[in-house]
Structure 1
C-alpha cells in the first residue's frame, strides 16, 4: 500500500538543495536550512520510501569520456503490441540512456550517447533497425547543449 505524504517547505528546500548537488552532506543541507542533520536524514528516508527520491546519480561530461555524439531517435513501430519487446531490446543497448512511450509521430522516443557518427550508424543499422516491430527511425543530432537544469520545486 502506498503511503501518502504531504510535502512541506522543509522537504522542498531539502530537495532543491540536493538536486543541485547530491553529494552535499546532510549536515551541510541542515545548516543551510537551519534544521538538524537528523531531520534531513529522516526526511530523505521518507522521500525515498515514498518513491519521490528514486536515486542519486553523477552527472558526467560524456563528451570528455569519448561519447561526444548525442542524439534523439524517434521510433515508429508496426503497432503498439511491440512496445514491450522493443523496449526490452533497447534496454540491452548500453548507448541508449533513456526511452519514452510518447504521443505524436513516434511510438518510442529515445536518447543515445555515441562516440561518433560511425558508432551511431552502427547502432542504428545493426541493432535498433533490426529489432522486430521497428518500422522506421528518425534521428535528431544534438549539436550543442545550451543549458540543462533540474526543475526548481516549490510548494503550491
Structure 2
C-alpha cells in the first residue's frame, strides 16, 4: 500500500514520532530525524492532503475525570441492512466512544465510557434499547485496561 501512497521511510518515521508525541514541534522533529523543520511541514501537509493524517488528539486520563466504567456492548441487529440507520442513532449517544460493524457473533460492537454504573444503566436501558433495529445487546464490563496503543507503522528492520 505504501507504493500507492508514495510514502518513504521518512514519512513513516514522521508518523511514528507524531503518534508517540503529537505536540512535538516540526523543528524539534526535524532535528530528531536529521531534516529541516520545513521538510517536516511539507511532509505532514502532503499526508494531510492524502488523508493519512486527519488531525491530532489530546489523550486524557478518563479515570481522573471521574469516568470509572468502560464497557463493550455487542449489538445484534434485526437485519444487517439496518446498520447505517442504527449507527446514526448510536452516534447521538455521547457515551459511545467507538463503534464497529463486525463479523461473527455481533452485528456491531460499541465501546461505552460512563461515570458510573448508574449512567451505564441509563445508556443501556433508556437509550440503546429504544433504537429501532436493535434486536438485543450483550454487555461486557472492563475490569482493567492493560494497555492501549496505536498500530506500529514503522516496522522494525531486520
Which TM class, normalised by the smaller chain length? over 0.9
Listed as ranges, the gaps of 5+ residues in structure 2 are none
Matched, 1:91 2:91: yes
Residue 131 of structure 1, CA deviation: 0.3
Aligned-CA RMSD value:
1.2
Specify the alignment match of 1:51 in structure 2: 51
* Separation of aligned partners in 1, 2:38 and 2:76: 49
Specify the alignment match of 1:11 in structure 2: 11
Residue 33 of structure 1, CA deviation: 0.3
Residues 28-50 of structure 1: per-residue CA shift (max 9 Å, x gap): 11010000001100000110110
User: TM-score, normalising length from structure 1?
Assistant: 0.94
Residue 141 of structure 1, CA deviation: 0.7
Listed as ranges, the gaps of 5+ residues in structure 1 are none
Residue 91 of structure 1, CA deviation: 0.5
* Separation of aligned partners in 2, 1:138 and 1:95: 17
Specify the alignment match of 1:72 in structure 2: 72
Specify the alignment match of 1:82 in structure 2: 82
* Separation of aligned partners in 1, 2:43 and 2:62: 32
Residue 74 of structure 1, CA deviation: 0.6
Paired residue total: 153
Moved over 4 A (4+): none
Residues 47-92 of structure 1: per-residue CA shift (max 9 Å, x gap): 0110111221011111111111111111000001211111011110
* 3-state SS in 1 of match to 2:89: helix
Q: For 1:6-155, list aligned pairs within 5 A.
A: 6-154=6-154
* Separation of aligned partners in 1, 2:96 and 2:149: 21
User: TM-score, normalising length from structure 2?
Assistant: 0.93
* Separation of aligned partners in 2, 1:125 and 1:82: 20
